[in-house]
Amino acid sequence: MNAGFVYRDEIGPRDAELTVLDHLARRYPHSSAAVWSERIERGEVLLDGRPAALTDRLSCGLELAWHRPPWEEPPVPLAFAILYRDDNVLAVAKPRGLPSVPAGGFLEHTLLHLVKARFPDATPLHQCVLAHASDMTLLDTSLLPHGLTLYAGTLQVASLDHAMWFHRPFRADEWLLYVQESTSASGARGFNLGRIYRRDGVLIASVAQEGLIRVRQTAVPTKE
């Protein structure tokens, strides 16, 4: 059982004058309006630090926070190896199956949380985690028009170069939007660009990656 989590929204012009219930049901459609009503009535949702009511009207600048109660996270490998460590660099090996950052029901069963707990002074950790996560799906973008993925046994795939620029402060354990596009795909190479935004819409990082993508002469069996 984890410790729960607080999801915070700063209300902008788009959501001003909506009720608390309307805002939550529209912004987080994974839960129905009925479920959000129950959470609000249980006191899990705060508006500027006080318990929110279903019909409270929002205005710009207010903070809406949902205190999600603790929950059981899916079991995954939690042990990671330290590859290198000095005063400036900490390199670790992520075990297969362990998520890098919080998502999809994972909060503490993530590499980010485990490394933070063990090395609380590793300040570049958020940049390192985001750099790792940025590599996981970007090259796939070149294959979208063809209905294929990097894990198809018929493809030979390799990253040729991967560059990243950090523009503004951020936290990798908060929600981020990763916009990905392929601007060129030819000659067995795919070139892709990514833009990563904070929850408030601010661009915090840019990514570029080129990779080798070609059809194998003999298909490699995929694991079930």
pLDDT at 62: 93
45 vs 106: CA distance, rounded Å: 21
Distance separating the N- and C-terminal Cα atoms of the chain = 30
Residues with Cβ within 8 Å of residue 22, at least 6 apart in sequence: none
Answer whether 15's CB lies under 8 Å from 59's CB: no
Complete domains list, the chain, with CATH: 5-68 (3.10.290.10), 81-123 (no CATH), 133-215 (3.10.129.10)
What string of pLDDT tens digits covers the 224 residues of the chain? 999 999 888 898 888 889 999 999 998 888 999 999 999 999 999 999 999 999 999 999 999 999 999 999 999 999 999 999 887 678 899 999 999 888 888 999 999 899 989 988 776 778 888 998 898 888 888 888 877 777 667 788 888 999 999 998 888 888 899 999 999 988 889 999 999 999 889 999 999 999 988 887 765 555 55
Distance CA 151, CA 51 (A): 47
- pTM, full prediction: 0.55
Beta bridge mates, 196: 178, 205
Tell me what pLDDT residue 152 has.
Answer: 67
pLDDT at 222: 56
SS3 track for the chain: CCCCEEEEEECCHHHCCCEHHHHHHHHCCCCCHHHHHHHHHCCCEEECCEECCCCCECCCCCEEEEEECCCCCCCCCCCCEEEEECCCCEEEECCCCCCCCCECCECCCCHHHHHHHHCCCCCCHHHHHHHHHHCCCCHHHHHHHHCCCCCCCCEEEEEEEEEEEECCCCCCCCCCEEEEEEEEEECCEEEEEEEEECCCCCEEEEEEEEEEEEECCCCCCCCC
Residue 58 has a pLDDT of 94
- How many residues belong to the chain? 224
